[in-house]
Structure 1
Amino acid sequence: MKALHPFALLPFLIFLLLSTDNASGYGHGEALHGDALALLSLKASLSCRPHVLRSWLPGNVASVCEWTGVRCAGGRVVSVDIANMNVSTGAPVTAEVTGFAALANLSLAGNGIVGAVVVSALPELRYVNVSGNQLGGGLDGWDFPSLPSLEVFDAYDNNFSSSLPPGVTALARLRYLDLGGNYFSGVIPASYGGMLALEYLSLNGNNLQGAIPPELGNLTSLRELYLGYYNAFDGGIPAELGRLRNLTMLDVSNCGLTGSIPSELGGLASLDTLFLHTNQLTGEIPPELGHLTALTRLDLSNNALTGEVPSTLASLTSLRLLNLFLNRLHGPVPDFVAALPLLETLQLFMNNFTGRVPAGLGANAALRLVDLSSNRLTGMIPEMLCSSGELHTAILMNNFLFGPIPGPLGSCASLTRVRFGHNYLNGTIPAGFLYLPRLNLLELQNNLLSGPVPSNPSPTLAGSQLAQLNLSNNLLSGPLPAALANLSALQTLLVSNNRLAGAVPPEVGELRLLVKLDLSGNELSGPIPEAIGRCGQLTYIDLSTNNLSGPIPEAIAGIRVLNYLNLSRNQLEESIPAAIGAMSSLTAADFSYNDLSGQLPDTGQLRYLNETAFAGNPRLCGPVLNRPCNISSDTGGSTAVSPRRATAGDYKLVFALGLLACSVVFAVAAVLRARSYRGGPDGAWRFTAFHKVDFGIAEVIECMKDGNVVGRGGAGVVYAGRARSGGAIAVKRLNGGGRHDHGFRAEIRTLGSIRHRNIVRLLAFCTNDREANVLVYEYMGGGSLGEVLHGKGGGFLAWDRRYRIALEAARGLCYLHHDCSPMIVHRDVKSNNILLGDDLEAHVADFGLAKFLRSGSGGGAANAGASECMSAVAGSYGYIAPEYAYTLRVDEKSDVYSFGVVLLELVTGRRPVGDFGEGVDIVQWAKRVTDGRRESVPKVVDRRLSTVPMDEVSHLFFVSMLCVQENSVERPTMREVVQMLSEFPRHASSQPSPSSASSSSAPEPEKEPNCYKLFPDLLN
């Protein structure tokens, strides 16, 4: 048979191809129509926001491949990507994605979808991303075996709970698995070690427990492994992880690991990053880690590692970050750290390092951050620390460094933060140091620096960013330079306890952003400049212990947010201006030991101060001092009495005094009778009143009945009672039996002497020999803050009232911490111990667990108390500071943490525990949901608040985050909290309006609150 020419079949082949294509097109069209219907079903099940996915319409099915986020290939939908389109309305949904035979890519990420999304029967699906939503429940509804092609599964940042899904182990092709940022509990299944194709595994940020399974060492294809953050594993790091030879990232930080660092990790030759920080690891740093020559970041900080830094780490020449801080390492800072050519970040603070700082530090690498603080280092600050010109943070405080500050630092234009305080540095401050263009924080306090405060070497300086300057406790002399006015961004100026002389420069009035001014303990003279009144954001002024003279400027009263004023131990004259006396913002003031005269204003906060605030001014008078003013026209305002003839009024006065004497006799008799009262078998009761009261021990005992119980707590039972006049009192019977030691009685007397409008008054104290101590307080008719916020059927507070409660309660705690001697630490700050009066004004209450701390000698805030070790943890679950729970050591910062929790309650309307899953409290939840970002705060705001000023809400949330820092040193003092909360003028007054109306019409503040700059480290 004759062979056919190849071209003879061409017409037939063309016909065949056209026929096949037409048939295929018909089939694809029908399948594509089915895909479109499935997409419309998905849109309906997601309950999308209006105007979202507008192109997804039933009448537009023919153009499905042109719909938003949809991509087709081969006549089928192969990709649906609607990530970050703000799809969700916030209503819970149940959505199922199924029926797409050709779908390879699915992304619903970043839409805040609430409820459940289930994916099944998608045989071609290779990529699925549902991260950044609020999906809950477990993943048991997902039919993983019906997704045989899946390679990437990203479910990060949702609300998934229950156990980790075992079904993912059926995905033979899975390369990327991210289940982090959820609430998964239980253990990591050992079967996860069988997913041999995995290259990326993240389980961090969950509630996982148990041990890290050694089977994970079988994942030899793994390149990145994240297991830390909020998990709480038992045991240590499995040595089997040393078999992951392809691993470039290993992060098992902050998950409770114990034991030592396995030397087997030294075999991870490809490792770029090793993060083991914030665990409880012990032992020495393995020298085998020196084999990780590809390592660029090594963080072993916040553990309990001991020994010296091994010399083998000198081979880590690619290292850019070395963090070993918060351990128990000792020995010298090794010289090789100065030779690492790429090192940018070196943090070794809070160890026991000794010896000198390596002299060449900064000479061979572009150092950007150096923190060697809180060690025992000696020697001098390296001359070449900023030789690269890129150093932005230098922290060497709390060491034994001596010698001068290197001159080149005065021209290091890249510096933003410098903390050299608490050393033995001497010499002068380098010219230009204070005026560096990017410098935000400069601390040189507690050194031996001498010479003048330098003037600006460049008068044309513009754009200074310095916000905090602390030169206190040095030997500086000379005048304060007028050039300080160039530091226009300055918010904190502390120059106390030096030898400065001359006048306070009026240019200080140009520092319009100044929040805290402390010039105390110098030799300054002349008048207080009127210009200080132009510093409208000042909350703290201390000019005490100088030689200032003249009158107190009335302009100070124009500073509406001022809450601390100390002018004591000067030579000030004339009277205290009435306008200052009327200031409602003052929580503390001291005018003692001057030459002030005249009548003391009896309005505003001054009437709540102790007499010691006015001591040493014999010519001051007024009811507050129990020193009457008999002022005549010719005495020039003195308290001398002019001779005159007796009048009928004098005889009336004598008669009234006689009646008063009789009343006193009867009152004494009543008290003696009350003290002799016997309460049956309990023995003799003793009654001590701290105020003028119209009740005695009989009324107190009468009200201690079960029918009068209004509250029970860890410290005792609270009863409601009545005085003889019918007025209400609150009686608290303390648990634990009678305590009669002199120390306890002294503490009770101190509590009884408290006079502050935001602290519930302790009216009386009763005790007997056998049973109990009983405290009698004024009764608060508005109930507790906890009841109002969380009570069943109770009303809820509008935002304006919540903010005021926060400020008022802060003022009460500020008084306890900073104006009581000894300092009082409450130890049980919580919303149930903040009581509301009939006008809803806040009062700190319940001192059943209060502890008195003697002054410490640390370098902290004034009046700081030394921490004291308790025999057991006291307080309420959810409010207890971490260091108190772990170490039993308590100080005022423990109260600050608890108050931060109260602020979170005010913002979120949630209880501290119980609403977030087992083991999660409100602090962990808030940090996780917002990630510390202000723009995320709306996610946690109480949904009962319909309209709120988000600037104030974000501000209050930010202050709460400062208060609940894990490291107590980083928390603000209560005085600083009051300062920060006072930054919104409409709340700064302590005279609240009884109205709880919504504050949606409140004016917006003109500028960002100061605290965002006072604590720059905590901003993202």
Structure 2
Amino acid sequence: MKRWSFVLVLFLCLGRGWSDPLSEEGLALLAMKASFTDPVKHLENWKLNGTATPCLWSGIACNNMSSVVGLYLAHMNLTGTLSADLGRLKNLVTISLEFNNFTGLLPVEVTTLLKVQYFNISNNNFNGAFPAKFSQLQSLQVLDCFNNNFSGALPGDLWLIPTLEHLSLGGNYFEGSIPAQYGSFPALKYLGLNGNSLTGPIPPELGKLQGLQELYMGYYNNYSSGIPASFGNLASLVRLDMGRCGLTGSIPPELGKLGKLDTLFLQLNNLVGVIPVQIGNIVNLQSLDLSYNNLSGIIPPALIYLQKLELLSLMSNRFEGTIPDFIGDMPNLQVLYLWENQLTGPIPSALGQNMNLTLLDLSSNFLNGTIPNDLCAGQKLEWVILKDNQLTGPIPEALGNCISLSKLRLSNNRLNGSIPLGLLGLPNISMVEIQMNQVMGPIPSEIIDSPQLSYLDFSDNNLSSKLPESIGNLPMLQSFLISNNHFEGPIPPQICDMQSLNKLDISGNEFTGTIPVEMSNCKKLGSLDLSRNGLTGQIPPQVEYIPDLYLLNLSHNQLSGQIPPQLQLLQTLNVFDFSYNNLSGPIPHFDSYNLSSFEGNPFLCGGLLQPCPAGTYDNDGAPAPGGHHSRRHKAANLLAWLVGALFSAALVVLLVGMCCFFKKYRWYICKYFRRESTTRPWKLTAFSRLDLTASQVLDCLDEENIIGRGGAGTVYKGVMSTGQVVAVKRLAGEGKGAAHDHGFSAEIQTLGKIRHRNIVRLLGCCSNHETNLLIYEYMPNGSLGELLHSKERSEKLDWETRYNIAVQAAHGLCYLHHDCSPLIVHRDVKSNNILLDSTFQAHVADFGLAKLFQDTGKSESMSSIAGSYGYIAPEYAYTLKVNEKSDIYSFGVVLMELLTGKKPIETEFGDGVDIVQWVRRKIQTKDGVLDVLDPRMGGVGVPLQEVMLVLRVALLCSSDLPVDRPTMRDVVQMLSDVKPKSKSSTDSRELAAPDAFKPQDLRLVCV
């Protein structure tokens, strides 16, 4: 094909006459173009145009002799291969092909371009072994092959290039050890080997690179040694990044000789020992990250000399002793992360005088004393995270004036005093946690419109007084938790002016009066806990207008009257408790309930309770004319209760006798039933009101109705005679012997009680001797996986839709993990198990089925036992167990699918590489981050800042260690924080402005 392309080009040139034949270099460029795909038509003017030279073509630079000396094709979205015709451009000095999608082998002819000084092919998909004889390019100064798919050993002859200053081979699949000859580069200033699969010891010969200024060796490499002491001889080194590469041993004190170093990253390794005092000699150091190691001892006083330090991250080690006072005096310190150590003593008072402090996290230590009063003196402080310590004293009043403050997390300390005035009205505050302290007094009434506040937890304190009416001035608040305090008075009706409220817990207080009917205005409310108060009056029937309510706890109050029958219309209501009140009358026709939810109300009747007295209530549960609770009725109720108790006792005795009989004679019984027909009639069990029959469900089981297949079974679409549309799942792995229940019925009964707006509702179960069918609500838009990976339908998934799906799916999983008792581990979280309704609202499906299959032994498929390939958490390989942290890892993969548009396993990632590893490698550079994003999300209109924050959450969820992953409750909070509550032209960062984002920002820990 290439030969004919060249012949065609030559023929066209000859056909134009001999007066202006295209130069040999122009013909070579046209031959190269024939192997390109140019969707944006950047190279449209590469054609015969009557001139003899290609110097006016896009991306071409010539010298004064009209020879091509520069090939500038970066960022042109080109695909295809690089042909051998490149070797015909003998005068090339610069080759710039970065940020395209070139594939295939790098042609060996490139090694014949002896004048090349700059060669950059980074961020493409070149693969195979790196060409030999690159050392022939004796004028080469820059060789950048970052983020491709090269494999095999590192090229061993590059050190023979005397002029080479910049060598970047990171982000590939090079394996084996680093050649010792890499310490012999005569002019090297930049060496990037990060993000490969390198092993073996780090050669101490690298310490001979006297001119080296930047050295990147970490991330996915796994060396078998520690840091060579010879690195202390790299006198010109400015940046050393060896994070996450399996380093062992201690930090060599010789690093203290690196006087020009401004960045030292050694995080996520297995380093032990103490921080050498010699580190204090690196007086130009600006960023020091030693987090996630096994370092111990004290924070050395020698660090006092690091006066230029901006970032100090020592979190998740075993440091002890006190936080040195000099840390508070560091004038440029912006980020201080010391959480999860064994530090004691007070917080340095001088820390509050730092005018640049932005992020402060000292949580999970043993700190005591008070919080410095002037912690926000510079008005730049965004995060104050001091939870899980032993701090005392009041919350500083000055924090109420800290306009930069976004998160304040002080839970689980011994703080007292009052809530600072102005705190709940700060313009940027999004989270306030002071639960589990001894804070007193009222919630300040000076609450102005706080545009960002979404999470507020004051529970387990000594707060008192009435709730201020101004509490309704928090329009974006989603969680309001004030349980176990001493609040009193009526519940202010303004509480539901908070239109975003999802969780309200005011239990364990001293509230009186009635439940406000305005509670029905909380349209987004999912969890409502008013228990353990002194509320009186009746339960307002308007509660039925809260469409997504799944938890309602009104226990331990003094409520009277009936339980409104309208509550049975709440399809999502799953957990409710009306116990220990003065309620009377019949209980509503709930689909399922526990008797404990009604105990302590002697005048309740109906359902599984004692029968209602004749003539007292009509068929709808309303009081009958003239009916009342007289002593006669009370006596009748008591008698009915006694009769019921005696009947229950007799029933228990009968059941025990039957069990004993069956145990003794089960062989004969089983032998008799085995002679019976193996086909039994179908039984339909409904978990909600279903206007259908078993035969109608069976009619759905037709090949034409199949809408999905998976490890859990085959799914059919069924249209009932009433017009109701359902999805019927025929469970996999069934057949002869399936009648052995193994807890199947009990498990399905549990799943049938689940009610949440982001959970696919299990409507019923249809079963016989051999087959089990599950009946679900139908989702018209299918699964997220189908929609995301289908070229025809993926255009519907713009950024706003994807973000909403992420948040809604997170809410569903959060419910399973935190609001179900016992918690439900999904075990197979994936995009195909997130279903979309007609408005693209997300619903988590197949929850709990993996455990069901595992317990019943019905399937041994990977999908049903421990997840699906590409979604499985790393720890499964050595524990063979999954828990809620495994779900969170899988959800991180789903987030990456949403952002990239790619499947968890793609051939372009390379052998053995999944989407998590691929994304981690890509984000090493700014442009690499942009390269992972799905262009179908909406192009330049996508807000980059929001996308990056979701990517950060995805990276946290997919951490290799389960302990490093957040809880689903934290995930919901972080995703909710992504969307700015108000935007201006100055803070809307879009994909058209990539310089607004720095890839190192992803290294910040989301808390």
When normalised by structure 1's length, the TM-score is: 0.71
Distance in 2 (CA, whole Å) between partners of 1:525 and 1:130 is 71
Match for residue 490 of structure 2 among 471, 483, 503: 503
- 1:269 is aligned to 2:228: no
Give the Cα–Cα distance (whole angstroms) in 1 for the partners of residues 657 and 440 of structure 2.
Answer: 61
Given the alignment, which residue of 867, 892, 899 partners 2:884? 892
**Residue 126 (1) aligns with residue 117 (2):** yes
Per-residue deviation, 1:390: 2.4
Tell me what 2:918 maps to: 925
- Structure 1 residue 1017 displacement after superposition: 7.6
**Counterpart of 1:964?**
958
Tell whether 2:186 aligns with 1:192.
no
In 2, distance between residues paired with 1:937 and 1:575? 59
Matches within 5 A, 1:692-711: none
| CA–CA separation in structure 2 for the residues paired with 1:453 and 1:447 | 15
Match for residue 161 of structure 1 among 151, 159, 182:
151
Q: Deviations for 1:714-745, whole angstroms, at most 9, x for unmatched residues? A: xx9999xxxxxxx9887789xxxxxxxxxx99
Contact kept in structure 2, 1:402 and 1:426, CA below 8 Å: yes
Instruction: Pick one of 373, 379, 386 that aligns with 2:363.
Output: 373
| Structure 1 residue 328, shift from structure 2 partner | 0.4
Partner of 2:239: 249
CA offset at residue 528 of structure 1?
Answer: 3.2
Aligned to 1:108: 97
Find the counterpart in structure 1 of residue 86 from structure 2. 97
How is 1:275-290 mapped onto 2 (pairs within 5 angstroms)? 275-290=265-280
8 Å Cα contact 1:226/1:251 also seen in 2 = yes
Name the structure 2 match of 1:138: 128
Say whether the 8 Å CA contact 2:32–2:83 is kept in structure 1: no
Look up the SS of the partner of 2:112 in the other structure. Answer: coil
Query: Are residues 677 and 976 of structure 1, via their aligned partners in 2, closer, same or farther at CA, if it must alter by over 3 Å?
Result: farther
Whole-angstrom distance in 2 between the partners of 1:320 and 1:775: 67
Distance between the aligned counterparts of 2:375 and 2:669, measured in 1?
A: 77
| Deviation, structure 1 residue 130 | 1.8
1:233 to 1:531, Cα distance in 2 relative to 1, 3 A:
farther
User: What are the Cα deviations for residues 403-450 of structure 1, in whole angstroms up to 9, with x where unaligned?
Assistant: 112222222222222211111011111211222222222221111000
Q: Which amino acid aligns with 2:493?
A: P
CA distance in 2, matches of 1:157, 1:669: 70
Q: Does 1:297 align with 2:312?
A: no
Corresponding residue of 2:502? 515
Aligned to 2:460: 473
C-alpha distance 463-376 of structure 1, shift in aligned 2 (>3 A): closer
Using the TM superposition, name which of 956-965 and 890-899 deviates more: 956-965
Deviation at 1:194, TM superposition (A): 2.1
Alignment of 1:203-218 (within 5 A): 203-218=193-208
Change (3 A) 1:174 1:430: same
Q: Which runs of 5+ in 1 are unaligned?
A: 1-28, 644-660, 686-690, 696-715, 720-726, 734-743, 766-773, 852-872, 984-1014
Aligned AA (1:367): L
What is the DSSP-based 3-state SS (H/G/I as helix, E as strand, rest coil) of the residue aligned with 1:162? Answer: strand
* Contact 2:825–2:847 under 8 Å retained in 1: no
Give the direction of change, closer, same or farther, for the CA distance of 1:48–1:123 in structure 2 (3 Å limit).
Answer: same
- CA displacement 1:926-960 (0-9 Å, x = unmatched): 444578999979957799x999x999x98998876
Aligned to 1:240: 230
Aligned-partner Cα distance in 2 for 1:304–1:579: 58
Q: How has the CA–CA distance of structure 1 residues 31 and 487 changed in structure 2, closer, same or farther, with 3 Å as cutoff?
A: farther
1:124 partner amino acid: K
Partner of 1:994: none
Q: CA deviation at 1:114?
A: 4.1
Alpha carbons of structure 1 residues 692 and 139: separation in structure 2 relative to 1, 3 Å: same
The C-alpha deviation readout for 1:756-795, integer Å capped at 9, x for no partner, is 4669999999xxxxxxxx999767999xxxx99999xx99
Q: 1:978 to 1:283 in 2, by over 3 A?
A: closer
Q: Is the 8 A contact 1:619 1:638 kept in 2?
A: no
Q: Determine helix, strand or coil for the equivalent of 1:370.
A: strand
Measured after TM superposition, the shift of residue 587 of structure 1 is: 4.9
SS in structure 2 at match of 1:525? strand
The 1:563/1:201 distance shift into structure 2, 3 A limit, reads: farther
**Alpha-carbon distance between aligned partners in 2 of 1:825 and 1:574, rounded to the nearest angstrom:** 39
Work out whether residues 824 and 850 of structure 1, in 8 Å CA contact, stay in contact via their aligned partners in 2: no
Question: Kindly tell me: are residues 961 and 620 of structure 1, through their superposed partners in 2, closer, same or farther at Cα, counting changes over 3 Å?
Answer: farther
**Distance in 2 separating the partners of 1:909 and 1:390:** 39
The 3-state SS of whatever aligns with 2:55 is helix
- The structure 2 residue matched to 1:847, chosen from 851, 858, 861, is 851
C-alpha offsets along residues 960-1004 of structure 1, whole Å, 9 cap, x if unaligned? 656434565775655787999999xxxxxxxxxxxxxxxxxxxxx
Q: Residues 834 and 844 of structure 1 are in contact (CA less than 8 Å); yes or no, is this contact kept in structure 2? A: no
User: Which residue identity is paired with 2:535?
Assistant: L
Correspondences of 1:485-884 after superposition (within 5 Å): 485-575=472-562, 580-596=567-583, 600=587, 602=589, 607-617=591-601, 637=621, 676-678=665-667, 755-756=752-753, 817-818=817-818, 821-823=821-823, 825=825, 842-847=846-851, 881=873
Question: 1:306-385 counterparts in 2 under 5 A?
Answer: 306-363=296-353, 366-385=356-375
Could you tell me how far 1:368 is from its partner in structure 2?
2.1
Label 1:67 to 1:209 Cα distance change in 2 as closer, same or farther (>3 A): same
Q: Which ranges of structure 2 fall in alignment gaps of 5 or more residues?
A: 1-18, 628-649, 675-679, 685-710, 715-728, 736-740, 755-759, 837-842, 856-864, 978-1001
Which one-letter code corresponds to 2:365 in the other structure?
N
Q: Which amino acid counterpart does residue 486 of structure 1 have in structure 2?
A: N
Equivalent-residue separation in structure 1 for 2:827 and 2:603 (angstroms): 41
Q: Give CA deviations for 1:503-523 in whole Å, capped at 9, x if unaligned.
A: 222222332233333222222
8 A Cα contact 2:171 2:922, kept in partner: no
Residue type at the aligned position of 2:848: V
Q: Give distance in 2, aligned partners of 1:378 and 1:981.
A: 32
Deviation of the 1:820 alpha carbon = 5.2
Alpha-carbon distance in structure 1 between the residues aligned to 2:40 and 2:502: 47
Distance 1:840 1:346 in 2: 38
TM-score of the two chains, using structure 2 as the length reference: 0.72
Corresponding residue SS for 2:178: coil
Would the aligned equivalents of 2:323 and 2:347 in 1 still touch at CA under 8 Å?
Answer: yes
Amino acid of the residue matched to residue 285 of structure 1? I
The answer to whether the Cα contact below 8 Å between 1:425 and 1:449 also exists between their aligned partners in 2 is yes
Q: CA RMSD in A?
A: 5.6
Aligned equivalent of 2:987: none
Give yes or no for contact 2:784–2:835 (8 Å, CA) kept in 1: no
Against the structure 1 CA distance between its residues 76 and 403, is the aligned structure 2 distance closer, same or farther, given a 3 Å change threshold? Answer: same
Q: 1:811 to 1:464 in 2, by over 3 A?
A: closer
**Pairwise CA distance, 1:400:** 0.4
Shift of 1:165: 2.8
Relative distance call for 1:97 and 1:442 in structure 2 (3 A) is: farther
